[in-house]
Each structure stands twice: as C-alpha cells, then as structure tokens.
Amino acid sequence: MKNRINQKVKTDVLIVDSQPVYAAGLEQILSKDSLSEIAGIISDYKKALRFVKKAPPHVIIMDIFSGTVSAFDFIKEIMGTDPNIKILVLSMLDENIYAERALKAGARGYLLKTASQETIIRAVEKINKNELFLSDNLSSNILQKYVGGVENIELNPVKLLSDRELDVYRLTGKGHTSREISLMLGISVNTVDNHKSNIKDKLGFKNSIELIQNSVLWYREVL
C-alpha cells in the first residue's frame, strides 16, 4: 500500500469560458501548478450545470458572457447544487460594476483577464481554502464602501440595474437589436423591451435613442 502521508490532494478545476483560445491558455497556466488539475472546459452555462451535478469540481473558473442562463443565476444555481464549490470569476468586464454582483451571488473571487499567471494560480489556491480573492484596487473600493458598517451611496447609476437589465444594457451597447438580444438571452422581444423601459426609468433616459447612445458609450468605457 502506498504511503499517502504528505501527499497533497489536487484541486479539480472546471473552466467555463465562451472563448476557446483563452480557455486553452488558462488550461496551460493551470497545468504549471502541481496542485491543480483540469476537470473540463465548457463554453455553455447549461452544459456546465449538468457537468457539475454529475462530477462536482473543487473550483470553477468562469467568465461572464451572454447566454440563456445569466452569469449570476449560474453562480446561484451552482451554490444551490453544491455550496462547497468555490467560484472564481475571470473576466474583462469592469470589476467595479460586476464583481460585487458576482460575490453577492456566491463567487469567492473576481479578477480581470489581464491578471498575471501567478495571480491566477494564487487566486485558485486561496479560494479553495474558502478565502476571498480580489484585486488590491477592488478590495480597497469595497472596504471604503462599507466603512463604519454603512453602505455609501452608489455613484455609478448602472449599479441600479438588475442583473438581467444589466445584460440587456450591455448587449445594447454592443450594438444588438431587441430581437438579437431576445435570442441570445432566451427571452421574448417583449421582455427585452420591458427591460429597456425599466432601464430608461432607472437611468433617466428620455427615449430609446438616449438609451442606445449611452449604452454604447458605457460599453466602450467598461471595456
């Protein structure tokens, strides 16, 4: 019988990313870490949910992308399936807009895809120990927000939007029509238009033209 003393259990990591090239690169990065092992690479939230229910990994590294299941609903469903799974969001989307939503949904960390290889490996190790992992900038912002136990007023109006409204706003900023957005999100055109109406009310836009113009400018800024 082999002596297992001092042997460290490898961390099974599932990669959920719609960009095959980046996912392959991430796989190479993690292969350099002797404590990590790739459980799979999946480009669709629904397929990832089915995978997790059959073979739960220790850690999921995921991007935020458009799908019939929203990224935040995906995180919540994973937590409902197995709360012991640790989730690290690795995205190009503005951490000041998306990170807090991801953490509230159940993620343990949020990094931009520009993070170094060493930072990504360290993040996987940290969240697998049930610790939070955020960039220094994000940690500082969150700390300032809750100083004294009182949440400061949000200065960015986009944070007033619900998760699904934010999806619609982002896709509008990318230049997609209501019909295209409905197909991408798996909802009706009427539902998309209702979300747009709510967005106009919350952000104070007078009409659809203002919504489109501002969403395009915002999308360019966050990316």
Average pLDDT per block of 10 residues along the chain, 223 residues long: 52 95 94 88 95 96 88 95 96 87 92 93 93 79 53 63 92 94 92 96 93 89 69
Angle, CA 17 vertex, CA 68 and CA 110 arms, to 5°: 100
pLDDT of residue 143: 53
Instruction: Return all residues near 156 (Cβ < 8 A) that are at least 6 apart.
Output: 96, 97
CA–CA distance, 48 with 13 (Å, rounded to integer): 12
pLDDT of residue 149: 47
pLDDT of residue 153: 41
CATH 3.40.640.10 fits 157-222, yes or no: no
**DSSP letters of the chain?**
----TTPPPPEEEEEE-S-HHHHHHHHHHHHT-TTEEEEEEES-HHHHHHHHHHS--SEEEE----SSS-HHHHHHHHHHH-TT-EEEEEESS-HHHHHHHHHHHT-SEEEETTS-HHHHHHHHHHHHTT--EE-HHHHHHHHHHTGGG-PPPPS-GGGGS-HHHHHHHHHHHTT--HHHHHHHHT--HHHHHHHHHHHHHHHT-SSHHHHHHHHHHHHHHH-
pLDDT of residue 148: 47
State the fold for domain 11-145: Rossmann fold (3.40.50)
pLDDT of residue 140: 61
pLDDT of residue 142: 63
Nearest to 137 by CA among 107, 106, 99: 99
The sign of the CA dihedral 168, 174, 179, 180 is negative
Distances from the Cα of 115 to the Cαs of 26, 63, 112, 123, 126, in angstroms?
A: 11, 13, 6, 10, 15
pLDDT of residue 129: 92
Domain chopping of the chain, boundaries: 11-145, 157-222
pLDDT of residue 1: 39
pLDDT of residue 80: 95
pLDDT of residue 3: 45
